[in-house]
C-alpha cells in the first residue's frame, strides 16, 4: 500500500458533506486519474447532528482545531465553517502550520485576498478557492490554467443562483419580485434574510475574485458599482424582451483602452444571442472573452452539497498531486 494523502475538513455542514462525499464516493476514480489515495482523516465539527449524520465515521470528528494543526500527516485543510471568525484565524493558523488551505468562503477571500495570498507565500503553501465562484463550475482553474495562453478582454458572469432564480420566475411566470423571492425562500434557494444575495453583495465578492484571477488586479467589492435586483420590475423585463433581451444580474469586468479594469455588478439587459441570456433558474454561468480563444462559456450549478463539494475536492486533489511530484 502506497502513501495516503490525508486532508482535514473544518466544518461539516452542506459543503463539508459534499467535499467528504466527493473524495470518498469517487476514491477509485480519483486514484485512476491521479494514482493517489486521498483520505479525509479529521473533521472539526461541534454540532452533534452533523457528527451523527452517518456520512462520515464518528471517530474522525474532533472539537479541537489543534488535533488538526498539530497532526503532521495532514497536508491540507478545507475551511468550510463560513463567516469571518474563527474561519479566517483557522486558515491563517493552518498555513502557519505548513498546511495547504482550501475554502469556498467568497466573502472572506474577497475581503482579505492579499493577506491570505501573502500568508500562503510566506509559509510556502497553496491557497485555493475554486468553490468560491460558480460552485461546481471550474472557472478559477479555467482562467488560471486551461486558458493561460490567453489574455482576457472581459469577464461576464451570472454567479448568484438566488437572484437568477428570482429574475427567471419574474420573467417566465410573470411573478412580482416579492412573489419570486418568497418562492426562492420556500425552495431553499434564498436565505430568510436575502440581503447579501438580492443587493448584489455576494455577486460583488465573486467578481473581486474573478478579476484578481483574470486580470491580476485586486479590487475590493466596495470599490466598484453595485446595484441589486430589488428595483427590477415586470415593466423592465418586458421592455428588455421587446429588445430581444433578458435582464440578468451581471458581474462584469472589462479591460479599458487605457489598460485599467472597469467593474460593476448590476441588472443588465443581455441580448438573447449571448449565452448568458439562456441561463435559467438557480444556474450560474461565466463568459470569458479571450484575445485568442474568443468567447468561452461555462455553465453549471453554483451551489448545492455535492456540486460545491466537488469543487472543494478538486482543489484538495490538485494539492495532493503537486505534493506527489
64 binds a second copy (CB under 8 A): no
Cell representation of residue 232: 427590477
Which of 299, 249, 286, 318 is CA-nearest to residue 152?
286
Which residues, in sequence order, are CB contacts of 286 under 8 Å at separation 6+? Answer: 133, 134, 137, 139, 155, 156, 157, 158, 159, 210, 297, 298
| Pairing, β 225-226 against β 261-271 | parallel
Of the listed 169, 206, 246, 248, which one is catalytic?
A: 206
- Of 22-30, 94-102, 107-115, 236-244, the segment contacting a second copy by CB under 8 A is 22-30
Listed residue (86, 83, 120) closest to 105, CA to CA: 83
By CB under 8 A, residue 317 contacts a second copy: yes
Q: Which residue in 299, 319, 316, 321 sits closest to 135, CA to CA?
A: 299
Nearest approach, Cβ of 18 to a second copy (angstroms)? 7
Min. distance of Cβ 95 from a second copy in angstroms? 21
Strands in the chain per DSSP E: 4-10, 37-44, 61-62, 74-79, 100-102, 127-128, 152-158, 225-226, 245-255, 261-271, 283-290, 294-301
Which of 14, 26, 41, 230 lies at the binding interface for a second copy (CB under 8 A)? Answer: 26
**Binding flag, residue 265, a second copy (CB under 8 A):** no
For 98, the enclosing helix (H) or strand (E) is none
Of residues 206-225, which lie at the interface with a second copy (CB under 8 A)? Answer: 216
List the interface residues with a second copy, window 146-205 (CB under 8 A): 146-151
Phi and psi, residue 296, nearest 5°:
-120, 125
Length reported for the chain: 325
Choosing from 13, 82, 220, 300, the residue that interacts with a second copy (CB under 8 A) is 300
| Residue 123 or 297 with smaller CB distance to a second copy | 297
Handedness of CA 53, 55, 58, 60 (dihedral sign): negative
Which of these ranges, 14-22, 92-100, 155-163, 199-207, lies near a second copy under the rule CB under 8 A?
14-22
- Asked whether position 22 contacts a second copy by CB under 8 A, the answer is yes
For the segment 134-153, give every residue that binds a second copy (CB under 8 A). 136-138, 141-142, 144-151
Candidates 8, 15, 30, 132: give the one binding a second copy (CB under 8 A). Answer: 30
Residue 124 sits in the site that holds a second copy (CB under 8 A) = no
- 206 a catalytic residue: yes
- Kindly state whether residue 290 participates in binding a second copy, applying the rule CB under 8 A: yes
Q: Is 261 in the site for a second copy (CB under 8 A)?
A: no
* Pairing mode, strands 245-255 and 283-290: unpaired
Q: Residue 93 corresponds to which cell in the numbers above?
A: 493558523
Which residues of the chain form contacts with a second copy (CB under 8 A)?
18, 21-23, 25-26, 29-30, 32-34, 136-138, 141-142, 144-151, 216, 273, 275, 278, 280, 290-301, 304, 306-307, 309-314, 316-318, 325
Amino acid at each position: 500500500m502506497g502513501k495516503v494523502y490525508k486532508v482535514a475538513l473544518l466544518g461539516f455542514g452542506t459543503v463539508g458533506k459534499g467535499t467528504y462525499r466527493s473524495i470518498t464516493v469517487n476514491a477509485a476514480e480519483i486514484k485512476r486519474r491521479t494514482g493517489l489515495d486521498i483520505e479525509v482523516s479529521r473533521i472539526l465539527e461541534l454540532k452533534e447532528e452533523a457528527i451523527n449524520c452517518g456520512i462520515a465515521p464518528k471517530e474522525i470528528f474532533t472539537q479541537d482545531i489543534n488535533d488538526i494543526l498539530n497532526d503532521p500527516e495532514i497536508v491540507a485543510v478545507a475551511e468550510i465553517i463560513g463567516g469571518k471568525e474563527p474561519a479566517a484565524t483557522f486558515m491563517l493558523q493552518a498555513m502557519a502550520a505548513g498546511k495547504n488551505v482550501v475554502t469556498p468562503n467568497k466573502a472572506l477571500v474577497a475581503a482579505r485576498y492579499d493577506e491570505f495570498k501573502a500568508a500562503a507565500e510566506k509559509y510556502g503553501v497553496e491557497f485555493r478557492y475554486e468553490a468560491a465562484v460558480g460552485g461546481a463550475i471550474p472557472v478559477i482553474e479555467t482562467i488560471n490554467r486551461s486558458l493561460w495562453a490567453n489574455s482576457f478582454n472581459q469577464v461576464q458572469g451570472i454567479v448568484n443562483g438566488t437572484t437568477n432564480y428570482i429574475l427567471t420566475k419574474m420573467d417566465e411566470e410573470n411573478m412580482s419580485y416579492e412573489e419570486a423571492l418568497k418562492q426562492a425562500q420556500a425552495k431553499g434557494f434564498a436565505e430568510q434574510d436575502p440581503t447579501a444575495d438580492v443587493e448584489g453583495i455576494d455577486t460583488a465578492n465573486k467578481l473581486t475574485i474573478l478579476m484578481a484571477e483574470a486580470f491580476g488586479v485586486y479590487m475590493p467589492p466596495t470599490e466598484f458599482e453595485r446595484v441589486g435586483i430589488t428595483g427590477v420590475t415586470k415593466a423592465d423585463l418586458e421592455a428588455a424582451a421587446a429588445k430581444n433581451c433578458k435582464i440578468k444580474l451581471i458581474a462584469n469586468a472589462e479591460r479599458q483602452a487605457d489598460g485599467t479594469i472597469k467593474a460593476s455588478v448590476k441588472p443588465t439587459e443581455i441580448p438573447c444571442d449571448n449565452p448568458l441570456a439562456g441561463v435559467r433558474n438557480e444556474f450560474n454561468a461565466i463568459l470569458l472573452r479571450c484575445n485568442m480563444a474568443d468567447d468561452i462559456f461555462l455553465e453549471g450549478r453554483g451551489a448545492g452539497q455535492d456540486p460545491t463539494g466537488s469543487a472543494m475536492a478538486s482543489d484538495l486533489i490538485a494539492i495532493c498531486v503537486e505534493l506527489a511530484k
